[in-house]
């Protein structure tokens, strides 16, 4: 079970069965839910899957009655055949991209993939691009993601900030895109600048899996990914000066991203099956 409302329905149905004929119960905690009884159903499984070390810590800190031995850390995974190391989009895609965004042609692309919300770091990214442009760097900032319909005012605030800083030709807000893989692949550096730790942060490993280096605030699941695959990209959370310094260094000499890593789809599936098998083998 992996969502709270369906989990409550499933949990009560499970509890209503005779113990001798109950199937085993596995729950997955995908994020740091608001702590309370409603969320507690997600840690009531006989095995509790945590999607990162951060989530394991969240469970143990907030639900003290959960035995640590019931928790299994199983990272989310990407398919390396889809997010292939060294992947580049085909010429037809590049032509469509350049026709839609001619202002990016010939520029070094720096990309922040994140929905538009105040804690995801767009303002830090805008300041980064402003500093780089001011220092004469030939870069273009790409913000990929849209805002919730009820939060369009934040999108307007970001656009206004871009205009006030005179960055209309240096930053593009693309809105939602269904071709995120291609955008990440043509980027020189990808960023994860969330002000709050994320449970995992999938776009980070998608970029890294293709060999694109990531600079990210070193907390939550992003820190765990960077530690394993691109440790040079870790920056103290909210240290925008460090992000700017590191970006400047990487524009001259970016690191080589490790090709082998444990955040793969097959690793996730194998670990999940192992967790199920443990329970199936119990008396």
How many CB atoms are located within 10 Å of the residue 244 CB? 20
pLDDT at 282: 79
What is the average pLDDT score of the chain? Answer: 96
Average pLDDT over every residue of 45-56: 96
In the sheet that holds 71-73, the strands lie side by side as 26-29, 47-50, 71-73
Cα-Cα end-to-end distance for the chain: 22
Q: Please list the residues that pair with 78 across neighbouring strands.
A: 264
pLDDT at 7: 96
Average pLDDT over every residue of 121-141: 98
CA distances from 48 to 2, 30, 45, 273, 278 (A): 10, 11, 5, 13, 12
pLDDT at 66: 96
Average pLDDT over every residue of 91-112: 97
Flag whether pLDDT at 155 surpasses 90. Answer: yes
Domain ranges of the chain: 4-75+264-281, 91-252
User: Tokens 């010939």, residue?
Assistant: 106
Flag whether pLDDT at 178 surpasses 80. Answer: yes
Identify the helix (H) or strand (E) that includes residue 111: strand 108-113
Cα separation, 185 vs 143, in Å, equals 14
132 CA to centre of own chain: 24
pLDDT at 184: 98
* Range 91-252: architecture per CATH: 3-Layer(aba) Sandwich (3.40)
Flag whether pLDDT at 214 surpasses 70. Answer: yes
Cα separation, 141 vs 107, in Å, equals 9
CA distances from 35 to 25, 55, 61, 118, 199 (A): 21, 13, 10, 22, 15
pLDDT at 83: 97
Average pLDDT over every residue of 25-48: 96
Flag whether pLDDT at 251 surpasses 80. Answer: yes
Q: Which two three-digit tokens encode residue 63? A: 């639900």
pLDDT at 152: 87
Half-sphere exposure of residue 121, counting CA atoms within 13 Å on the CB side? 26
The angle subtended at Cα 199 by Cα 217 and Cα 37, nearest 5°, is 135
Look up residue 24 and give its DSSP letter. Answer: P
CA distances from 72 to 2, 10, 68, 176 (A): 14, 21, 9, 34
* pLDDT tier at 283, thresholds 50, 70, 90: low
Flag whether pLDDT at 80 surpasses 90. Answer: yes
């Amino acid at each position: 079970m992996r969502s709270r409302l369906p989990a409550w329905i499933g949990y009560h149905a499970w509890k209503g069965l005779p113990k001798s004929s109950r199937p085993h119960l596995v729950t997955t905690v995908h994020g740091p839910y608001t702590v309370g009884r409603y969320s507690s159903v997600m840690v009531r499984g006989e095995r509790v899957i945590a999607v990162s070390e951060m989530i394991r810590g969240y469970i143990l800190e907030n639900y003290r009655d959960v035995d640590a031995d019931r928790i299994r850390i199983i990272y989310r995974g990407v398919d390396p055949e889809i997010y292939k190391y060294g992947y580049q989009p085909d010429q037809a895609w590049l032509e469509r991209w350049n026709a839609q965004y001619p202002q990016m042609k010939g520029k070094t692309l720096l990309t922040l993939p994140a929905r538009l919300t105040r804690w995801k770091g767009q303002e830090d990214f805008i300041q980064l691009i402003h500093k780089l442009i001011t220092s004469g760097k030939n870069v273009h900032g790409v913000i990929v993601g849209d805002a919730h319909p009820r939060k369009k005012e934040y999108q307007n605030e970001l656009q206004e900030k871009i205009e006030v800083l005179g960055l209309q030709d240096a930053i593009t807000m693309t809105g939602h895109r269904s071709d995120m893989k291609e955008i990440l692949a043509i980027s020189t550096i990808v960023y994860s600048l969330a002000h709050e730790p994320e449970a995992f942060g999938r776009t980070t490993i998608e970029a890294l899996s293709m060999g694109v280096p990531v600079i990210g605030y070193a907390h939550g699941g992003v820190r765990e990914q960077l530690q394993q695959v691109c440790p040079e990209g870790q920056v103290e959370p909210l240290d925008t000066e460090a992000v700017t310094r590191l970006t400047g260094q990487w524009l001259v000499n970016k690191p080589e991203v490790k090709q082998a890593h444990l955040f793969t789809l097959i690793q996730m599936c194998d670990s999940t099956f192992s967790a199920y098998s443990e329970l199936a083998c119990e008396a």
